[in-house]
């Protein structure tokens, strides 16, 4: 029974082994290439951030020196002695290109860069200034990468004493070469390992082919083993890449932490040297605790700095290392004062911080690994299904579902490639958008995309009926691809917003068309099973797109990522055209998809009170509450100061629930539970998640809430659709219409959700719990209605 993407028994003869072998090799090459690329990209990004953090030790010290002088009445515009402060940064960071000091409005006041021409810049690029100012309001440093110049730019805030307002930026500029060396070592290691693994895989496949040829095993058994072998090789490769990545990054992190520890020692040594050269003695110094605390605050892995005045010799060396993740002291000699007194600086390393960082690395690597596995699995499932042809009608429907899942994957892979930076693009334009504030302008492209998507959903049913699902799917891919290309070339904000609207139209057009494809499946079981497959492909695409897009954007800039997204969407046209079985493409629809609302297509059952109540009590509230993840969680987590990668992991967690749990839970719900009960269970999970968070708001609980919502949505999305259809009986038009209403109601929920969360959060995080309680009330009303409806089954209305 082909209920999922499980490949159907292939029946190949031995002549089919060669193409299968080549397909397996191609799959290995593709996924190993993806794995290497994503790991190298991730390593580059993470290492660059760690390195810039270590640079921020010296930069932060300089920024605090400037702030201290501002308190004495100095002004940035005419800062006596600034050259000395900047020169100290250069001394501590010889590998950096240099340092600049700019006013908060972006005007560069002082510039000390290795390349003389670089000093001629008068202002910071406006987009960079705006973004840095926004980021520095939330965290101590901001790192940007200038793609054109190949420079990393580390921004640190200089704040006005007293008011704390941003007075200026200290910017440390480094060539990408400071990162390239370490990345090249990692690249060489991982590429060598993966190439070796790839070679071994080819040999394995070759041996397998040879064995199959010699001993003539049964074709079905042979194909099954080949597929298992392929999957095993691919998974091993991904895991090996993850392990290598972890080892290398751990070593690189420890190295940067050691460097920053040494820089701290050097800075303190230099400062004491300065003070002593001015006639001070250790006995005459005061305020050292505050000085040490300020420095330690810039280096999280340093717990304390103390002056050991006992004169006792340092403890016998035990050669502890940061990698051990435990507290230990490092003694650093200090210069002698005029009386010959020379205490030592004791740097106490905070072991738990190192441990926490190493744990973060594990989680980051796990994120990358899971993303790689998702990518691999989508390609594997697709190629496995199509590697052996299809003979039967049922097999054709199975391959149609597999093709639909892969099409959805491609659609969302392309659509979500730029998702991490679409709002940021608005900040790159020199002109504004109709006088909107930067925050409002940043939301405009997303709003336009959603609005156009909603409009497309409204008219998609009519389009599918008029032209068929295939033209709409292809046109949708085309529109979205064109929108991406225009996004890349847009030179002004309005053009960009309109381009995003085109993307919204295209993506939703294709999605609606894929619903149309599902409608053409004759086997009801296949049809019902297709939804979880679609959602699985959707979330795999979302996760892979978001992760890969963010990595690519950091490396090649925004416009090329838009173009790559456009290319992926264009590839979707070929995929949808070539791989969806012809029988499904040309088959007339037994159930017209996404029928428009009014007139006769509305169907007699759509306006039933039970349908309206379902939309009001379930479709809108659950989708609104599900906006906890995309809207509320990033704001909450960002407010706690957690890294973007941690926020990304929440999306991944949610996606994994949909991708991996979705098909299983949906099947179980379909076969063992009444639809209304599945809807209720899904809603209770979402409501419980919000109430739990409202009662005990923390990052851990937020993750738990994300998980629960993910589990709820994993089977709830399909269950809601299934239940909605039962409300209007078997009438084809009515079922299509109610599905369209349901989808649009969910869209409304997605629009309302952020407003509800922002209003609730204005009270406190407990407001999120109130939303959960509200959903409970909705569910209670729904339950009453469902029980009533069960007793009065819907009459069948012929279409």
Partner 1 sequence: MPLTRRTFLTGTASLAAVAANPRATLAATIPAPRPNGGRKWRIGYAESMPFGNYVATLHGVALALGRMGWLSGVADAPYTPGQWDSADLWRWLAGRDLGPHVEFVADAYYPRLDRNAPDEALNRLATARDIDLMIVMGTIAGTKLATDTHTVPTLVFSSTNPVAAKIVASESDPGREHVWAHLDLTRFHRQLRIFHDTFRFQRLGVAYDDSTVGRAIASLSDIEAMAERLGFALVRRHVRPPADEADFPRYYADLGTAWTELSGEVDAMYITYGRWELDRFRPLVQPFLDRRIPTFSQLGPEEVERGALMSVARADFAGIGQFGAGTIARLFGGERLRGLPQVYFDTPTIAWNIATAETIGHRIPFDALLAADTVFGGT
> Which residues sit at the interface with partner 1, rule CB under 8 A?
65, 68-69, 71-75, 77-83, 100, 107-113, 116, 119-120, 271, 274-275, 277-280, 284-288, 290-291, 294, 338
Q: Which is nearer to partner 1, 290 or 312 (CB)?
A: 290
Question: Between the CA atoms of 209, 212, 214 and 215, what dihedral angle is there, to the nearest 10 degrees?
Answer: 160
What is the nearest approach in angstroms of partner 1 to the Cβ of residue 111?
A: 4
Q: Which is nearer to partner 1, 113 or 551 (CB)?
A: 113
DSSP 4-34: SSPPPP----GGGHHHHHHHHHHHHHHHHHH
Listed in sequence order, the residues at least 6 apart from 129 whose beta carbon sits closer than 8 Å to its beta carbon are: 102, 105, 106, 123, 169
What is the nearest approach in angstroms of partner 1 to the Cβ of residue 93?
A: 16
Q: Which is nearer to partner 1, 284 or 321 (CB)?
A: 284
What is the nearest approach in angstroms of partner 1 to the Cβ of residue 152?
A: 20
Q: Which is nearer to partner 1, 68 or 185 (CB)?
A: 68
What is the nearest approach in angstroms of partner 1 to the Cβ of residue 68?
A: 4
What is the nearest approach in angstroms of partner 1 to the Cβ of residue 293?
A: 11
Q: Which is nearer to partner 1, 128 or 519 (CB)?
A: 128
The residues with which 145 forms a beta bridge, in sequence order, are: 152
User: What is the C-alpha to C-alpha distance for residues 480 and 501, in angstroms, rounded to an integer?
Assistant: 9
Question: Between the CA atoms of 321, 322, 324 and 328, what dihedral angle is there, to the nearest 10 degrees?
Answer: 80
User: What is the C-alpha to C-alpha distance for residues 688 and 704, in angstroms, rounded to an integer?
Assistant: 10
Burial of 782 (0-12, 13-18, 19+ CB in 10 A): buried
Which phi-psi region, left, alpha or beta, contains residue 275 (left: φ > 0; alpha: ψ -120 to 50)? alpha
* 167 and 160 Cβ atoms separated by less than 8 Å: yes
Q: Which is nearer to partner 1, 278 or 792 (CB)?
A: 278
Listed in sequence order, the residues at least 6 apart from 774 whose beta carbon sits closer than 8 Å to its beta carbon are: 621
What is the nearest approach in angstroms of partner 1 to the Cβ of residue 146?
A: 18
A 10 A CB-CB count for 747 gives: 21
Residue 70: which of 118, 103, 33 has the closest Cα? 103
A 10 A CB-CB count for 163 gives: 8
Q: Which is nearer to partner 1, 347 or 540 (CB)?
A: 347
Tokens read off for 464:
């599918």
What is the nearest approach in angstroms of partner 1 to the Cβ of residue 548?
A: 39
What is the nearest approach in angstroms of partner 1 to the Cβ of residue 59?
A: 16
The residues with which 100 forms a beta bridge, in sequence order, are: 111, 171
Q: Which is nearer to partner 1, 184 or 297 (CB)?
A: 297
CA angle, 410 then 413 then 418, to 5°: 145
Q: Which is nearer to partner 1, 255 or 271 (CB)?
A: 271
Task: Tell the residue number behind the tokens 């990004």, with chain if given.
Answer: 45
* 28 and 230 Cβ atoms separated by less than 8 Å: yes
Tokens read off for 562:
């838009």
What is the nearest approach in angstroms of partner 1 to the Cβ of residue 108?
A: 7
Q: Which is nearer to partner 1, 180 or 271 (CB)?
A: 271
What is the nearest approach in angstroms of partner 1 to the Cβ of residue 340?
A: 13
């Amino acid at each position: 029974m082909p209920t999922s993407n499980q490949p159907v028994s292939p029946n190949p003869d031995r002549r089919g082994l060669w193409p299968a072998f080549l397909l397996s090799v191609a799959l290995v090459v593709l996924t190993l290439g993806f794995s290497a690329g994503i790991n190298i990209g991730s390593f580059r990004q993470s290492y660059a951030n760690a390195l810039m953090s270590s640079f921020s030790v010296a930069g932060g010290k300089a920024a605090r020196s400037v702030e201290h002088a501002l308190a004495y009445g100095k002004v940035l515009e005419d800062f006596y002695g600034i050259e000395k402060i900047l020169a100290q940064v250069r001394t501590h960071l010889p590998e950096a290109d240099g340092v600049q000091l700019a006013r908060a409005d972006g005007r560069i006041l002082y510039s000390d860069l290795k390349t003389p021409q670089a000093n001629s810049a008068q202002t910071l690029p406006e987009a960079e200034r705006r973004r840095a100012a926004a980021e520095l309001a939330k965290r101590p440093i901001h790192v940007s990468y200038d793609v054109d110049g190949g420079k990393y730019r580390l921004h640190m805030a200089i704040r006005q004493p007293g008011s704390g307002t941003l007075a200026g930026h200290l910017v440390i500029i480094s060539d990408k070469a400071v990162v390239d060396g370490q990345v090249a070592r990692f690249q060489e290691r991982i590429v060598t390992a993966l190439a070796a693994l790839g070679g071994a895989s080819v040999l394995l496949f070759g041996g397998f082919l040879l064995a199959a040829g010699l001993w003539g095993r049964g074709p079905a058994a042979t194909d099954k083993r080949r597929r298992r072998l392929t999957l095993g090789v691919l998974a091993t490769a991904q895991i090996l890449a993850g392990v290598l990545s972890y080892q290398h990054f751990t070593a690189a992190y420890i190295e940067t932490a050691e460097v920053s520890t040494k820089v701290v020692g050097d800075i303190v040594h230099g400062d004491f040297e300065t003070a002593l050269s001015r006639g001070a003695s250790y006995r005459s110094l005061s305020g050292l605790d505050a000085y040490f605390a300020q420095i330690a605050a810039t280096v999280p892995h340093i717990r304390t700095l103390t002056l050991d005045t006992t004169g006792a010799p340092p403890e016998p060396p035990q050669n502890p290392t940061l990698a051990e993740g435990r507290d230990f002291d490092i003694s650093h000699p200090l210069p002698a004062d005029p009386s010959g007194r020379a205490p030592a600086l004791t740097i106490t390393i905070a072991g738990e911080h190192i441990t926490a960082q190493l744990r973060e690395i594990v989680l980051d690597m796990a994120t990358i690994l899971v993303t790689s596995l998702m990518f691999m699995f989508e390609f594997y499932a697709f190629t496995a299904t199509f590697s052996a042809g299809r003979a039967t009608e049922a097999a054709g429907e199975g391959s149609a579902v597999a093709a639909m899942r892969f099409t959805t994957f491609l659609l969302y892979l392309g659509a979500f490639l730029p998702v991490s930076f679409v709002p940021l693009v608005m900040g790159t334009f020199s002109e504004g958008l109709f006088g909107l504030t930067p925050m409002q302008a940043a939301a405009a492209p997303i709003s336009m995309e959603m609005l156009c998507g909603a409009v497309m959903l409204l008219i998609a049913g009519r389009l599918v009926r008029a032209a068929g699902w295939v033209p709409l799917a292809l046109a949708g891919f085309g529109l979205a691809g064109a929108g991406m290309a225009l996004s890349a070339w847009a030179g002004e904000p309005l053009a960009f917003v309109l381009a995003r609207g085109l993307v919204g139209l295209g993506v939703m057009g294709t999605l609606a068309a894929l619903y149309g494809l599902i409608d053409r499946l004759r086997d009801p079981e296949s049809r019902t099973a297709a939804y979880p497959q679609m959602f699985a492909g959707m979330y795999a695409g979302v996760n892979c797109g978001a992760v890969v897009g963010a990595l690519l954007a950091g490396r090649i800039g925004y416009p090329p990522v838009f173009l790559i997204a456009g290319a992926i969407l264009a590839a979707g046209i070929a995929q949808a055209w070539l791989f969806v079985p012809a029988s499904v493409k040309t088959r007339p629809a037994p159930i017209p998809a996404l029928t428009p609302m009014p007139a006769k297509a509305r169907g007699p059952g759509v306006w039933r009170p039970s349908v309206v109540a379902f939309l009001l009590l379930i479709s809108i509230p659950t989708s609104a509450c599900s906006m906890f993840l995309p809207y509320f969680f990033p704001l909450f987590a960002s407010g706690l100061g957690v890294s973007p990668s941690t926020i990304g992991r929440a999306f991944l967690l949610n996606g994994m629930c949909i991708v991996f749990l979705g098909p299983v839970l949906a099947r179980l719900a379909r076969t063992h539970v009444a639809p209304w009960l599945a809807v209720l269970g899904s809603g209770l999970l979402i409501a419980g998640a919000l109430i739990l968070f409202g009662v005990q708001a923390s990052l851990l609980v937020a993750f738990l809430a994300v998980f629960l919502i993910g589990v709820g949505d994993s089977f709830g999305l399909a269950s809601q659709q299934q239940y909605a259809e039962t409300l209007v009986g078997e009438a084809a038009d009515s079922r299509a219409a109610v599905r369209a209403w349901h989808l649009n109601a969910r869209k409304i929920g997605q629009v309302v959700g952020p407003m509800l969360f922002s209003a609730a959060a204005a009270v406190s995080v407990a407001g999120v719990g109130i939303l959960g309680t509200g959903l409970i009330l909705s569910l209670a009303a729904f339950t009453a209605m469902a029980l009533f409806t069960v007793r009065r089954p819907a009459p069948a209305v012929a279409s």
